[in-house]
Amino acid sequence: MPTYEFLCDQCHTRFEAQLHFGESSEHVHCPQGHAQTRRLFTPPGIVFKGSGFYVTDNRKRSGKKNA
Ligand SMILES: [Zn+2]
């Protein structure tokens, strides 16, 4: 069962909770019982695949020449 990380908006406590499949994260309360929690998106790993997803810095200058 996946475990997600949450942050309480009221007491700013970070905690982990398990969500059942299809269960809304809006039902998750913090350990202090606050209902205003938000889910933190911390995926274990994001892999960007595909072409063209990089930045080319053609405008980079070599700097001033110190003659
Ligand atoms: Zn709280």
Q: Number of structural domains, the chain?
A: 1
User: What residues flank ion ligand 1 with Cβ within 5 A?
Assistant: 8, 10-11, 30, 32, 34
Angle at Cα 47 formed by Cα 42 and Cα 53, nearest 5°? 120
Please report how many Cα atoms fall inside a 13 Å half-sphere around the Cα of residue 36, on the Cβ side.
4
Whether residue 5 has pLDDT greater than 80: yes
Alpha helical stretches, state H, the chain? none
CA of 10 to the centre of ligand 1 (A): 5
The model carries a pTM of: 0.55
* Residue 52 lies inside a defined structural domain of this protein: no
Cα–ligand 1 centroid distance for 9 (angstroms): 7
What average pLDDT score do residues 41-48 get?
62
What sign does the dihedral 23-33-2-44 (CA atoms) show? positive
pLDDT at 36: 93
**Kind and range of the H or E element at 4?**
strand 3-8
Task: Flag whether 49 is in a domain.
Answer: no
Q: In which domain, by residue range, is 28 found?
A: 3-40
Ligand 1 centroid to Cα of residue 18, in Å, is: 17
User: Looking at the domain assignment, is residue 59 inside a domain?
Assistant: no
Tokens of 2: 């996946």
